[in-house]
Amino acid sequence: MPSAVDKPATQARLRKLAARPEPPSSLLPRFGLVVPPSPYVVPTGWEFVHTAPFEGPSVIAGLAKSLGMPFEMLDQREAPDPSTLARGPLSKIDILGVATYADSFPYQDRVTRLAKAERPDRPVVLGGPLVSSAPEVVLGNTAADFAVLGEGELTILELLDHLAGRPGALSPAAIEGLAWKNDEGRVVVNARRPQMSDLDAVPFMDLDAWPSVRESGRSTEIYFQASRGCPNACSFCFRAMPELTHKSPERIRAELLHLKRWSFEFAWWNDLTFVTSQKRTHEVLDAMEGIDFRWSCFTRVVGVNSELFERMRKLGCDIVMYGFESITQTILDLYGKRATPGNILHAIEVARQAGIKVGGLFIIGAPGETEESLENLVDFCDRFQEVTRVKYLSLLPGTPLYLDAKRRGIIADELEHMHFMARERSVEEDEFINVCGLPEPLLRRTYRAVNHRIQVRPYDWRDPANRYLDEPTAFAGRPLSPTGR
Ligand code: B12
Ligand code: SF4
């Protein structure tokens, strides 16, 4: 079918909407976006990650509002039971969006069924990383009608045109990056949409869309991104947006200044890897000059240096999160990390010298893990104490390790695996899929030993001294979704 609106035209329109939004119109359908709860347990001091405005939904809110659409964020992150929505808040919504994350499939299933039972003709649209990683399983096993895959802006814009009956709108079959159900209820996955070349066209996040922010007028912590994608391709990692694309420094600065209207004090940089080239990273730092806030970021251990880190520290960087994963070369190779234990030690040194805290992230239970590699890990943590998070290996859909587990029959039922992931909370007691074959008690013992280093050194960004806190505390638990099985 010929396209009534070509892709560059959609991107140009997005850019125009960001610069000059349409006036609000009560004649347009009301768009509601559900953000589901998560059982993910976070280290002490990091509790804000469950309450700060998520970036993806904030951008979708900005986009819907720029179209003039009435918008409502249905923030359910502290409300595990979806039936509370069906008794009121959903009734005003004409188009329902549901953000999908790896640990909330049972909730997504329940909420879409409730929404459809209440109003069968109301379109329900999924988006976000989980459905992007497994569209057939997720869309096919919920009551939703559509799924926006990968980067959301252009696809949802074209879909909202279709749902709002805009003249010249594309039909679902012609929208790239969309999965949809045909008349027989079968899931059709259209061709993937290439990532946008122009990230400056993305609307600013609308933090007022979040009821908690609207009420208080503030958002002390924010999530924020200057780039999308990562040039690496590790075997356990899912990248919904694989290509590395960048916002311009001018755009980054304008957006940070815009976000200051909510008086943020701490930014969690969402880039998959903050340090890419030295030149680019310095440009991002230039964009932050004179804007007062503290921040954390993720980065690869490769390519870091003292000059850069000293500047990062001066500009408010308190802690850098490195994806160490393991301290044993064979395991790093198996993951495709393209890094060495030497790179890890160097990266720690660079951060320490600059006065930046190191948040090391580790995975236990890689295929190929040995007693020795686990001992190495515990020794390393004893020596360096630089560790923020440890997890059992999680098999995320869309990753090489997931595909391998499917091939080997370790994951026999993909739908059951969706429910399993909703029980992974990143705690020692988690169930896990043992792909390395080592005795389970050994893996749990290692987890406990590593986790102990974190619990005795809690870190809270709000302490201006940027130091570990004195009081060890157990992490606060979070409930599993009552719909989990
Ligand atoms: C910040 C972050 C967190 C934060 C905030 C999470 C959040 N939901 O925003 C915290 C610490 C809470 C977190 C926790 C977890 N995370 Co996390 N996290 C990230 C990170 C680094 C950034 C997310 C982000 O804001 N990106 C920027 C925005 C703009 O992108 P986005 O959210 O994808 O949104 C875009 C599209 O997806 C789409 N979209 C999003 N929502 C919707 C909704 C609708 C209706 C539509 C139409 C479109 C749409 O449009 C947006 C604009 O293009 C990503 C990696 C990455 N860079 O994306 C991992 C990532 C999302 N996390 C991941 C995982 C696995 C987890 C955990 C399960 C923990 C764990 N065991 O590792 C939990 C799950 C908790 C949860 N409910 O999210 C995986 C997801 C894998 C998967 N297949 O789902 C990722 C991709 C990391 C990875 N490579 O492994 N995470
Ligand atoms: S784990 Fe880190 S380095 Fe590897 S692909 Fe994912 S984001 Fe990139």
pLDDT in tens, 388-411: 789 999 999 999 999 999 999 999
Q: Which ligand is nearest to the CA of 398?
A: 1
Distance in Å, CA 237 to ligand 2 centroid: 6
Contact (Cβ atoms closer than 8 angstroms) between residue 461 and residue 296? yes
Share of the chain above pLDDT 90, in %: 86
Taking alpha carbons only, the member of 415, 428, 423 closest to residue 485 is 423
Mean pLDDT of the chain: 94
pLDDT of residue 483: 61
d(CA 307, CA 324): 22
d(CA 403, CA 127): 22
Give the mean pLDDT of 349-377: 96
pLDDT at 427 over 70: yes
Contact (Cβ atoms closer than 8 angstroms) between residue 291 and residue 256? yes
pLDDT of residue 469: 80
H runs (alpha helix) in 141-222: 153-163, 211-216
Protein residue whose Cα sits closest to atom 4 of ligand 2: 234
Is the C-beta atom of 240 inside 6 A of ligand 2? no
pLDDT in tens, 199-241: 999 999 999 999 999 999 999 999 999 999 998 999 999 999 9
Which residues sit opposite 299 in a β-bridge?
A: 322
Taking alpha carbons only, the member of 177, 115, 179 closest to residue 146 is 179
CB neighbourhood size of 1 (10 A): 7
H runs (alpha helix) in 144-263: 153-163, 211-216, 249-259
Is the C-beta atom of 343 inside 6 A of ligand 2? no
Phi, psi torsion values for 204, nearest 5 degrees: -65, 150
Phi, psi torsion values for 179, nearest 5 degrees: -115, 145
Give the mean pLDDT of 118-127: 97
Q: Which of 225, 272, 301, 362 to mutate to test the pocket of ligand 2 (most atoms within 8 A of CB)?
A: 272
Amino acid making up residue 346: H
Is the C-beta atom of 31 inside 6 A of ligand 1? no
Amino acid making up residue 371: E
CB neighbourhood size of 118 (10 A): 15
Q: How far is CA 193 from CA 39, 62, 174, 243, in A?
A: 31, 21, 11, 12
Taking alpha carbons only, the member of 109, 197, 184, 193 closest to residue 159 is 193
Contact (Cβ atoms closer than 8 angstroms) between residue 246 and residue 280? yes
Distance in Å, CA 239 to ligand 1 centroid: 10
Retrieve residue 97's tokens: 């969006």
Q: In the structure, how many helices (H) and strands (E) does the chain have?
A: 17, 15
Share of the chain above pLDDT 70, in %: 98
- pTM for the full predicted model: 0.97
Which residues sit opposite 223 in a β-bridge?
A: 268
Give the mean pLDDT of 50-62: 98
